[in-house]
Amino acid sequence: MKIGEFSNLTGLPILTLRHYMDIGLLSPQKEDRYWKFTEEDLERARAIAQYKDCGLSLSAIGEMLSLHDQLQQHPEDAGLSQQRGSLFAREFNRLHSRQAELLAALNRLEEMTRSIRGQVVTESFNGIPFPLFSLICCPMCGSPLNWENVHIACNQVCRGQGSCACGFHAEVSDDGILITADAQRPLIPAVDRQMATLQQRTPQDVSYIESFNQWLIQHLASLDLKGKVIFEDVLNTACFLNRTIGLLDKEACYILCDTDLEVVRYYMSSIRAAYPHRNILFLVDDGIHHPLCPGCLDIVIDYAASEIYQKYGYRSSSTPLRPYAHNDTIIAGRFSRLCKKQLGERDPAEYNPLRYRQSVLLEDMERNGIQILKEKTGSRAVDPSVYIGTLPGDILKPYAFIGRWKMP
Protein backbone atom coordinates (compact mmCIF):
# COMPACT_ATOMS: atom_id res chain seq x y z
CA MET A 1 0.00 0.00 0.00
CA LYS A 2 1.10 3.58 -0.62
CA ILE A 3 1.83 6.13 2.09
CA GLY A 4 -1.58 7.86 1.79
CA GLU A 5 -3.50 4.65 2.39
CA PHE A 6 -1.08 3.71 5.17
CA SER A 7 -1.68 7.11 6.79
CA ASN A 8 -5.44 6.54 6.74
CA LEU A 9 -5.13 3.07 8.28
CA THR A 10 -2.80 4.14 11.07
CA GLY A 11 -4.28 7.58 11.70
CA LEU A 12 -0.78 9.05 11.52
CA PRO A 13 -0.10 12.16 9.40
CA ILE A 14 2.17 11.64 6.41
CA LEU A 15 4.74 14.05 7.88
CA THR A 16 4.85 11.91 11.05
CA LEU A 17 5.33 8.75 8.98
CA ARG A 18 8.18 10.38 7.06
CA HIS A 19 9.80 11.41 10.36
CA TYR A 20 9.54 7.83 11.64
CA MET A 21 11.19 6.68 8.41
CA ASP A 22 13.97 9.25 8.78
CA ILE A 23 14.86 8.06 12.28
CA GLY A 24 14.56 4.37 11.41
CA LEU A 25 11.38 3.41 13.25
CA LEU A 26 9.72 2.46 9.95
CA SER A 27 11.60 0.99 6.97
CA PRO A 28 9.23 0.46 4.03
CA GLN A 29 10.51 -0.62 0.62
CA LYS A 30 10.60 1.79 -2.33
CA GLU A 31 9.19 0.67 -5.68
CA ASP A 32 8.88 2.87 -8.80
CA ARG A 33 9.63 6.01 -6.78
CA TYR A 34 6.84 5.19 -4.27
CA TRP A 35 7.08 3.89 -0.75
CA LYS A 36 5.31 0.55 -0.35
CA PHE A 37 4.02 -0.40 3.09
CA THR A 38 3.22 -3.97 4.14
CA GLU A 39 1.15 -5.62 6.87
CA GLU A 40 4.37 -5.94 8.88
CA ASP A 41 4.84 -2.17 8.63
CA LEU A 42 1.25 -1.73 9.82
CA GLU A 43 1.88 -3.90 12.90
CA ARG A 44 5.06 -1.94 13.59
CA ALA A 45 3.24 1.40 13.33
CA ARG A 46 0.60 0.15 15.75
CA ALA A 47 3.33 -0.97 18.15
CA ILE A 48 4.90 2.50 17.93
CA ALA A 49 1.54 4.10 18.72
CA GLN A 50 1.05 1.76 21.67
CA TYR A 51 4.49 2.58 23.08
CA LYS A 52 3.82 6.32 22.63
CA ASP A 53 0.53 5.95 24.52
CA CYS A 54 2.59 4.46 27.35
CA GLY A 55 4.75 7.59 27.39
CA LEU A 56 7.92 6.10 25.89
CA SER A 57 10.27 8.46 24.05
CA LEU A 58 11.01 7.86 20.37
CA SER A 59 14.57 6.81 21.23
CA ALA A 60 13.24 4.28 23.76
CA ILE A 61 10.74 3.04 21.18
CA GLY A 62 13.62 2.54 18.75
CA GLU A 63 15.47 0.49 21.36
CA MET A 64 12.33 -1.51 22.09
CA LEU A 65 11.70 -2.29 18.41
CA SER A 66 15.33 -3.28 17.92
CA LEU A 67 15.15 -5.69 20.86
CA HIS A 68 11.86 -7.04 19.49
CA ASP A 69 13.50 -7.74 16.13
CA GLN A 70 16.44 -9.48 17.80
CA LEU A 71 14.12 -11.60 19.94
CA GLN A 72 12.23 -12.64 16.81
CA GLN A 73 15.48 -14.07 15.52
CA HIS A 74 16.71 -15.41 18.88
CA PRO A 75 13.62 -16.12 21.04
CA GLU A 76 15.59 -18.14 23.59
CA ASP A 77 18.09 -15.38 24.33
CA ALA A 78 17.50 -14.60 28.02
CA GLY A 79 19.89 -11.65 27.86
CA LEU A 80 17.74 -9.89 25.28
CA SER A 81 14.61 -10.49 27.37
CA GLN A 82 16.38 -9.04 30.39
CA GLN A 83 17.46 -5.98 28.37
CA ARG A 84 13.87 -5.40 27.31
CA GLY A 85 12.67 -5.72 30.90
CA SER A 86 15.34 -3.26 32.08
CA LEU A 87 14.26 -0.83 29.37
CA PHE A 88 10.63 -1.02 30.49
CA ALA A 89 11.68 -0.49 34.12
CA ARG A 90 13.88 2.47 33.13
CA GLU A 91 11.04 4.17 31.27
CA PHE A 92 8.63 3.35 34.10
CA ASN A 93 10.90 5.10 36.61
CA ARG A 94 11.51 8.00 34.20
CA LEU A 95 7.78 8.62 33.91
CA HIS A 96 7.36 8.56 37.69
CA SER A 97 10.17 11.12 38.02
CA ARG A 98 8.55 13.22 35.32
CA GLN A 99 5.23 12.98 37.15
CA ALA A 100 6.84 14.43 40.28
CA GLU A 101 8.45 17.21 38.23
CA LEU A 102 5.14 18.11 36.59
CA LEU A 103 3.31 18.13 39.92
CA ALA A 104 5.99 20.37 41.38
CA ALA A 105 5.66 22.71 38.38
CA LEU A 106 1.88 22.79 38.81
CA ASN A 107 2.28 23.70 42.48
CA ARG A 108 4.69 26.51 41.61
CA LEU A 109 2.33 27.79 38.94
CA GLU A 110 -0.58 27.66 41.39
CA GLU A 111 1.42 29.69 43.92
CA MET A 112 2.34 32.26 41.25
CA THR A 113 -1.31 32.52 40.24
CA ARG A 114 -2.41 33.13 43.83
CA SER A 115 0.36 35.68 44.26
CA ILE A 116 -0.70 37.57 41.13
CA ARG A 117 -4.26 37.64 42.42
CA GLY A 118 -3.02 39.21 45.65
CA GLN A 119 -3.62 36.12 47.77
CA VAL A 120 -1.27 35.03 50.52
CA VAL A 121 1.03 32.22 49.47
CA THR A 122 1.48 29.60 52.18
CA GLU A 123 5.07 28.53 52.69
CA SER A 124 5.84 24.88 52.00
CA PHE A 125 6.54 22.43 54.80
CA ASN A 126 10.23 21.71 55.40
CA GLY A 127 9.87 20.46 58.95
CA ILE A 128 7.42 18.49 61.06
CA PRO A 129 3.89 20.00 60.99
CA PHE A 130 2.37 20.63 64.42
CA PRO A 131 -0.43 18.01 64.03
CA LEU A 132 2.22 15.32 63.55
CA PHE A 133 4.73 16.70 66.06
CA SER A 134 2.06 16.28 68.74
CA LEU A 135 2.11 12.51 68.10
CA ILE A 136 5.79 12.12 69.04
CA CYS A 137 6.58 10.41 72.34
CA CYS A 138 9.08 8.01 73.87
CA PRO A 139 8.64 4.49 72.43
CA MET A 140 10.05 2.94 75.61
CA CYS A 141 7.87 4.48 78.32
CA GLY A 142 5.26 6.46 76.36
CA SER A 143 6.18 9.79 77.96
CA PRO A 144 6.34 13.08 76.03
CA LEU A 145 9.86 14.10 75.08
CA ASN A 146 11.63 17.09 76.58
CA TRP A 147 12.70 19.34 73.69
CA GLU A 148 15.63 21.76 73.50
CA ASN A 149 17.03 24.14 70.87
CA VAL A 150 13.76 24.01 68.98
CA HIS A 151 13.33 26.15 65.87
CA ILE A 152 9.73 26.78 64.79
CA ALA A 153 8.56 28.35 61.53
CA CYS A 154 5.29 28.28 59.60
CA ASN A 155 3.56 26.02 62.15
CA GLN A 156 6.23 23.35 61.91
CA VAL A 157 9.23 22.23 63.93
CA CYS A 158 12.28 22.63 61.73
CA ARG A 159 15.01 21.69 64.21
CA GLY A 160 15.46 20.48 67.78
CA GLN A 161 16.64 17.73 70.17
CA GLY A 162 14.28 15.60 72.23
CA SER A 163 15.02 13.30 75.15
CA CYS A 164 13.27 11.23 77.80
CA ALA A 165 14.25 10.51 81.40
CA CYS A 166 14.40 6.81 80.52
CA GLY A 167 17.35 7.47 78.19
CA PHE A 168 15.66 7.74 74.78
CA HIS A 169 16.93 10.45 72.41
CA ALA A 170 15.80 11.87 69.06
CA GLU A 171 16.41 14.95 66.97
CA VAL A 172 14.79 16.91 64.18
CA SER A 173 17.53 17.35 61.58
CA ASP A 174 18.18 20.56 59.65
CA ASP A 175 16.11 19.22 56.75
CA GLY A 176 13.18 18.38 59.03
CA ILE A 177 13.55 14.61 59.47
CA LEU A 178 12.87 13.03 62.87
CA ILE A 179 15.86 10.76 63.60
CA THR A 180 16.11 8.58 66.70
CA ALA A 181 19.41 7.58 68.30
CA ASP A 182 18.34 3.92 67.91
CA ALA A 183 18.49 4.32 64.11
CA GLN A 184 22.24 3.68 64.37
CA ARG A 185 21.38 0.11 65.44
CA PRO A 186 18.57 -0.88 63.05
CA LEU A 187 16.52 -3.96 63.86
CA ILE A 188 15.11 -4.02 60.30
CA PRO A 189 18.13 -3.10 58.13
CA ALA A 190 17.66 -1.81 54.59
CA VAL A 191 17.72 -4.81 52.23
CA ASP A 192 17.43 -3.11 48.84
CA ARG A 193 18.84 0.37 49.31
CA GLN A 194 19.37 0.92 45.58
CA MET A 195 15.84 -0.38 44.84
CA ALA A 196 17.45 -2.75 42.34
CA THR A 197 14.54 -5.19 42.32
CA LEU A 198 12.32 -2.59 40.66
CA GLN A 199 14.83 -2.29 37.83
CA GLN A 200 14.93 -6.05 37.24
CA ARG A 201 11.22 -6.80 36.92
CA THR A 202 9.99 -7.97 33.54
CA PRO A 203 7.52 -5.62 31.82
CA GLN A 204 4.85 -8.28 32.19
CA ASP A 205 5.40 -8.42 35.95
CA VAL A 206 5.47 -4.61 36.22
CA SER A 207 2.07 -4.42 34.52
CA TYR A 208 0.68 -7.35 36.51
CA ILE A 209 1.76 -6.02 39.91
CA GLU A 210 0.50 -2.57 38.95
CA SER A 211 -3.04 -4.03 38.79
CA PHE A 212 -2.72 -4.92 42.49
CA ASN A 213 -1.43 -1.42 43.26
CA GLN A 214 -4.43 0.10 41.49
CA TRP A 215 -6.74 -2.18 43.47
CA LEU A 216 -5.25 -0.86 46.71
CA ILE A 217 -5.44 2.77 45.53
CA GLN A 218 -9.09 2.35 44.56
CA HIS A 219 -10.06 1.07 48.00
CA LEU A 220 -7.98 3.62 49.93
CA ALA A 221 -9.35 6.51 47.87
CA SER A 222 -12.88 5.41 48.74
CA LEU A 223 -12.24 5.92 52.49
CA ASP A 224 -12.81 9.14 54.41
CA LEU A 225 -9.18 10.10 55.04
CA LYS A 226 -9.65 13.70 56.14
CA GLY A 227 -7.52 14.25 59.25
CA LYS A 228 -6.46 10.58 59.34
CA VAL A 229 -2.89 9.49 60.10
CA ILE A 230 -1.50 7.24 57.34
CA PHE A 231 1.71 5.31 58.07
CA GLU A 232 4.13 3.42 55.81
CA ASP A 233 7.46 1.89 56.76
CA VAL A 234 10.19 -0.23 55.12
CA LEU A 235 10.53 2.18 52.21
CA ASN A 236 13.83 0.79 50.91
CA THR A 237 12.27 -1.83 48.61
CA ALA A 238 9.46 0.39 47.31
CA CYS A 239 7.36 3.28 48.59
CA PHE A 240 3.63 3.10 47.92
CA LEU A 241 2.85 6.61 49.19
CA ASN A 242 5.54 8.18 47.01
CA ARG A 243 3.26 7.76 44.02
CA THR A 244 -0.18 7.83 45.66
CA ILE A 245 -0.21 10.80 48.06
CA GLY A 246 -1.50 12.94 45.21
CA LEU A 247 -4.48 10.61 44.80
CA LEU A 248 -5.43 10.62 48.48
CA ASP A 249 -6.98 13.27 50.73
CA LYS A 250 -5.06 16.56 50.94
CA GLU A 251 -6.03 16.96 54.59
CA ALA A 252 -4.70 13.59 55.73
CA CYS A 253 -1.48 13.29 57.74
CA TYR A 254 1.31 11.01 56.51
CA ILE A 255 4.22 9.30 58.26
CA LEU A 256 6.95 7.71 56.11
CA CYS A 257 9.49 5.65 58.02
CA ASP A 258 12.65 3.65 57.31
CA THR A 259 15.87 2.71 59.05
CA ASP A 260 18.04 4.22 56.30
CA LEU A 261 18.42 8.01 56.33
CA GLU A 262 19.42 8.24 52.66
CA VAL A 263 16.36 6.25 51.57
CA VAL A 264 14.09 8.62 53.52
CA ARG A 265 15.86 11.65 52.04
CA TYR A 266 15.46 10.18 48.55
CA TYR A 267 11.69 9.95 48.88
CA MET A 268 11.40 13.18 50.86
CA SER A 269 12.96 15.23 48.06
CA SER A 270 10.46 14.06 45.43
CA ILE A 271 7.41 14.13 47.74
CA ARG A 272 8.11 17.61 49.11
CA ALA A 273 8.67 18.94 45.61
CA ALA A 274 5.39 17.49 44.36
CA TYR A 275 3.26 18.09 47.48
CA PRO A 276 4.80 21.02 49.40
CA HIS A 277 1.74 21.70 51.57
CA ARG A 278 0.92 18.21 52.80
CA ASN A 279 1.25 17.25 56.47
CA ILE A 280 4.08 14.71 56.35
CA LEU A 281 6.45 13.37 59.01
CA PHE A 282 9.63 11.75 57.67
CA LEU A 283 11.01 9.38 60.28
CA VAL A 284 14.23 7.37 60.68
CA ASP A 285 14.36 4.87 63.56
CA ASP A 286 15.36 1.27 64.31
CA GLY A 287 12.37 -0.15 62.42
CA ILE A 288 10.51 -1.48 65.47
CA HIS A 289 10.42 1.16 68.22
CA HIS A 290 8.66 4.09 66.59
CA PRO A 291 8.57 7.33 68.64
CA LEU A 292 4.81 7.65 68.24
CA CYS A 293 1.89 7.76 70.69
CA PRO A 294 0.08 4.44 71.20
CA GLY A 295 -3.01 4.04 69.04
CA CYS A 296 -2.24 7.06 66.83
CA LEU A 297 -2.32 5.35 63.40
CA ASP A 298 -5.55 5.27 61.40
CA ILE A 299 -4.22 3.65 58.20
CA VAL A 300 -1.20 1.33 57.90
CA ILE A 301 0.35 0.65 54.48
CA ASP A 302 2.08 -2.74 54.36
CA TYR A 303 3.60 -2.52 50.88
CA ALA A 304 5.68 -5.71 50.92
CA ALA A 305 6.82 -4.68 54.41
CA SER A 306 5.75 -8.02 55.92
CA GLU A 307 8.07 -9.79 53.47
CA ILE A 308 10.97 -7.88 55.03
CA TYR A 309 9.73 -8.37 58.60
CA GLN A 310 9.57 -12.13 57.91
CA LYS A 311 13.23 -12.05 56.85
CA TYR A 312 14.10 -10.88 60.37
CA GLY A 313 11.92 -13.39 62.23
CA TYR A 314 8.64 -11.50 62.57
CA ARG A 315 5.56 -13.17 61.10
CA SER A 316 4.05 -9.96 59.73
CA SER A 317 4.12 -6.20 60.22
CA SER A 318 1.07 -6.42 62.48
CA THR A 319 3.05 -7.57 65.55
CA PRO A 320 5.48 -4.60 65.79
CA LEU A 321 2.80 -2.13 64.65
CA ARG A 322 0.00 -3.32 66.94
CA PRO A 323 0.88 -0.85 69.76
CA TYR A 324 0.32 2.04 67.35
CA ALA A 325 -3.02 0.81 66.01
CA HIS A 326 -6.45 1.31 67.53
CA ASN A 327 -9.81 -0.37 67.21
CA ASP A 328 -10.77 0.23 63.53
CA THR A 329 -7.28 1.02 62.21
CA ILE A 330 -7.19 -0.04 58.56
CA ILE A 331 -4.27 -2.03 57.14
CA ALA A 332 -3.79 -2.18 53.36
CA GLY A 333 -1.05 -4.26 51.85
CA ARG A 334 0.55 -6.28 49.10
CA PHE A 335 2.46 -9.50 49.71
CA SER A 336 4.32 -12.04 47.56
CA ARG A 337 3.15 -15.53 48.53
CA LEU A 338 5.31 -18.60 47.96
CA CYS A 339 3.07 -21.22 46.33
CA LYS A 340 5.76 -23.77 45.48
CA LYS A 341 9.24 -24.06 46.95
CA GLN A 342 12.07 -25.38 44.79
CA LEU A 343 14.44 -27.82 46.45
CA GLY A 344 18.00 -26.53 46.75
CA GLU A 345 20.52 -24.83 49.01
CA ARG A 346 19.63 -21.26 49.96
CA ASP A 347 21.71 -18.41 51.28
CA PRO A 348 21.30 -18.61 55.08
CA ALA A 349 21.86 -14.85 55.33
CA GLU A 350 18.80 -14.20 53.15
CA TYR A 351 16.55 -17.20 53.69
CA ASN A 352 14.02 -17.58 56.48
CA PRO A 353 11.46 -20.43 56.35
CA LEU A 354 8.77 -17.96 57.47
CA ARG A 355 9.35 -15.70 54.47
CA TYR A 356 6.78 -15.29 51.69
CA ARG A 357 4.32 -17.52 53.59
CA GLN A 358 0.76 -16.28 53.19
CA SER A 359 -0.50 -18.62 55.92
CA VAL A 360 2.07 -17.19 58.35
CA LEU A 361 1.02 -13.65 57.39
CA LEU A 362 -2.71 -14.25 57.82
CA GLU A 363 -2.36 -16.23 61.06
CA ASP A 364 -0.25 -13.47 62.60
CA MET A 365 -2.66 -10.75 61.52
CA GLU A 366 -5.57 -12.71 62.99
CA ARG A 367 -3.60 -13.22 66.22
CA ASN A 368 -3.11 -9.45 66.41
CA GLY A 369 -6.82 -8.76 65.98
CA ILE A 370 -6.97 -7.99 62.24
CA GLN A 371 -10.00 -9.03 60.21
CA ILE A 372 -9.52 -9.30 56.44
CA LEU A 373 -12.26 -7.28 54.73
CA LYS A 374 -11.25 -7.60 51.08
CA GLU A 375 -8.54 -9.44 49.20
CA LYS A 376 -7.19 -9.91 45.68
CA THR A 377 -5.30 -13.12 44.94
CA GLY A 378 -3.08 -13.43 41.89
CA SER A 379 -3.31 -16.52 39.72
CA ARG A 380 -0.17 -15.90 37.65
CA ALA A 381 3.35 -16.38 38.96
CA VAL A 382 5.97 -13.63 38.86
CA ASP A 383 9.69 -13.93 38.17
CA PRO A 384 11.23 -15.17 41.47
CA SER A 385 14.75 -13.94 40.65
CA VAL A 386 14.03 -10.41 41.91
CA TYR A 387 12.97 -11.67 45.35
CA ILE A 388 15.78 -12.00 47.84
CA GLY A 389 16.16 -15.48 49.34
CA THR A 390 14.40 -17.34 46.52
CA LEU A 391 15.65 -19.92 44.01
CA PRO A 392 14.89 -20.40 40.30
CA GLY A 393 11.81 -22.59 40.15
CA ASP A 394 10.12 -21.03 43.19
CA ILE A 395 6.57 -20.00 42.36
CA LEU A 396 5.48 -16.67 43.83
CA LYS A 397 2.15 -14.99 43.22
CA PRO A 398 0.96 -11.55 44.39
CA TYR A 399 -1.67 -11.06 47.06
CA ALA A 400 -3.32 -7.80 48.17
CA PHE A 401 -5.57 -7.21 51.15
CA ILE A 402 -7.57 -4.68 53.13
CA GLY A 403 -8.02 -5.46 56.82
CA ARG A 404 -9.18 -3.80 60.04
CA TRP A 405 -7.88 -4.06 63.57
CA LYS A 406 -10.52 -5.14 66.07
CA MET A 407 -9.02 -4.83 69.52
CA PRO A 408 -10.51 -6.89 72.36
141-188 pLDDT, tens digit each: 889 999 999 998 888 999 999 999 999 999 999 999 999 999 999 998
| pLDDT in the model for residue 226 | 94
pTM higher than 0.75, yes or no? no
Across the chain, which distance is largest between two alpha carbons, in Å? 91
| pLDDT in the model for residue 396 | 92
195-204 pLDDT, tens digit each: 555 567 778 8
Q: Where along the chain do its domains lie?
A: 196-405
Residues in a beta bridge with 334: 303, 400
| pLDDT in the model for residue 312 | 87
| pLDDT in the model for residue 198 | 58
| pLDDT in the model for residue 117 | 54
Measured between alpha carbons, how far is 8 from 29 in angstroms, rounded to an integer? 19
Measured between alpha carbons, how far is 238 from 230 in angstroms, rounded to an integer? 16
Stretch (H or E) spanning 336: strand 325-340
Measured between alpha carbons, how far is 209 from 212 in angstroms, rounded to an integer? 5
Mean pLDDT of successive 10-residue segments in the chain (408 residues)? 86 85 89 86 89 84 88 84 81 73 69 57 70 94 92 90 94 95 89 59 84 94 95 87 90 96 92 89 96 96 92 91 95 94 75 85 95 96 82 91 91
| pLDDT in the model for residue 368 | 95
219-263 pLDDT, tens digit each: 999 999 999 999 999 987 678 999 899 899 999 999 999 999 999
| pLDDT in the model for residue 355 | 85
How big is the chain by its Cα radius of gyration, in Å?
25
The domain 196-405 is placed in CATH, from the list 2.60.40.420, 3.40.50.150, 3.40.1010.10, 3.30.420.40, at 3.40.50.150
| pLDDT in the model for residue 335 | 94
Q: 163: how many CB neighbours lie within 10 A of its CB? A: 16
